[in-house]
Amino acid sequence: MQPLPPPVLHSLSADDGWLLRVWDYRPAFSAPRAARAVVVLGHAMMVDSWTLRRDDRPTLAAVLVAAGFRVLVPDLRGHGESGPVASDGGDWTYDDLIADVRHYVDLAASVEPELPVLLVGHSLFGQVSLAWQGTRNDPRVHAIAALACDMWNRRFEPSWWRRLLKRLLYWIPMMIIELVGYLPIRWARFGSADEPRSYWRQAWSWLRSNRWCSVDGKTDYWAALEALDVPVLHLVSEGDWIMGRPQSASRWTAPVATRELVVLGRDDAPGELAKLRPSHMALVTDPANKLAWHWVAGWLGRAAEPAEAAAPSSADDEPERGRATGWDHDED
């Protein structure tokens, strides 16, 4: 196992004064040369950056650093060391998480002004990265990799019984939140970070209204996906049966014209990726999936190349993008 180098810890202040912690890992080279790009690598909800950067096992962050990327790993708002956390009275919306992406991109651009910025998100951060770039079109962002990402919404889920299950899985925590004031994830031992009332209410509203939008309803994040013009990798797994399952996830990102959809565990997945079927969290926490991490690093390397160098030699070489082939049928 190649360990992560000692990080530099950045403390950022969000627009509303919220503390945002970011761990900065620089690749170590035997000879002086620049990193390939700056990757902002963000985690899922209910957890923190430790799922991606711990030093007692192989991690996705370590693979990316070894591949020559400078990697910034934030604790998202209210998670890990970015506070205040929900149990201490911290409250935030999904919109706040999206707005925070600007601070991570600002940091990436400031530490390596000459390098492209790449956004890589597991679950939650993949979602907010797509929403940020779709609504802001930040020219500093050159590509997005969304890992195990899905959006729970009736329009995307073809299975009727899974639609009911997803509604139940949101409704029960919503009742707990109304009683306690926040979702006590750490007490229930479902993860390492509690979630607040405003965030959960917003997500619950999408499931009931069949939308993915801002709290005030004025910004339609799903419609904004059509505006994405940077390469987008959407990587999901056949082993992720509810949180980010391919049948609904592929419908969610179908509007992205630049999307490359890869489903681990399917015969048409690249090479040995067809043999992997990780669950939602195992995709980034189980070293058995290191092959997928290295494949993502390779994809990011190609995405970071100048457009003229990365362009295919002919139209036949261009991978199929922006389509949800094989997963658009109704089920059950």
pLDDT reported for residue 28:
82
pLDDT reported for residue 206:
94
Provide the mean pLDDT of the chain.
91
- At 207-245, the pLDDT tens digits run 889 999 999 999 999 999 999 999 999 999 999 999 999
pLDDT reported for residue 35:
86
DSSP annotation string for 105-121: HHHHHHH-TTS-EEEEE
Token pair 């799903």: residue: 222
The lowest-confidence range among 27-36, 183-192, 287-296 is: 27-36
Residue 26 has pLDDT above 50, yes or no: yes
Residue 329 has pLDDT above 90, yes or no: no
Q: What is the mean pLDDT of residues 57-78?
A: 97
The angle that helices 94-111 and 124-136 make with each other, rounded to 10 degrees, is: 80
pLDDT reported for residue 1:
57
Taking the C-alpha atoms of residue 61 and residue 41, their distance in angstroms, rounded to an integer, is 7
Residue 86 has pLDDT above 70, yes or no: yes
The angle that helices 197-209 and 94-111 make with each other, rounded to 10 degrees, is: 110
Residue 25 has pLDDT above 70, yes or no: yes
pLDDT reported for residue 328:
44
Share of the chain above pLDDT 70, in %: 90
Q: What is the mean pLDDT of residues 176-192?
A: 94
- At 123-180, the pLDDT tens digits run 999 999 999 999 999 999 999 999 999 999 989 999 999 999 999 999 999 999 999 9
pLDDT reported for residue 245:
95
Residue 197 has pLDDT above 50, yes or no: yes
- At 239-255, the pLDDT tens digits run 999 999 999 999 999 99
Taking the C-alpha atoms of residue 191 and residue 184, their distance in angstroms, rounded to an integer, is 9
Residue 204 has pLDDT above 60, yes or no: yes
pLDDT reported for residue 33:
63
**Any alpha helices (H) in 9-159, and if so which ranges?**
50-53, 60-66, 94-111, 124-136
Residue 21 has pLDDT above 90, yes or no: yes
pLDDT reported for residue 29:
66
Residue 319 has pLDDT above 50, yes or no: no
Q: Which residues, in sequence order, are CB contacts of 318 under 8 Å at separation 6+?
A: 312
Share of the chain above pLDDT 90, in %: 85
- At 292-315, the pLDDT tens digits run 999 999 999 999 987 534 444 443
pLDDT reported for residue 313:
40
Task: Based on DSSP, count helices (H) and strands (E) in the chain, helices before strands.
Answer: 12, 10
Could you give all domains of the chain from N- to C-terminal order, each with its CATH number? 8-317 (3.40.50.1820)
Peptide bond between residue 84 and the one before it cis (omega within 30 degrees of 0): yes
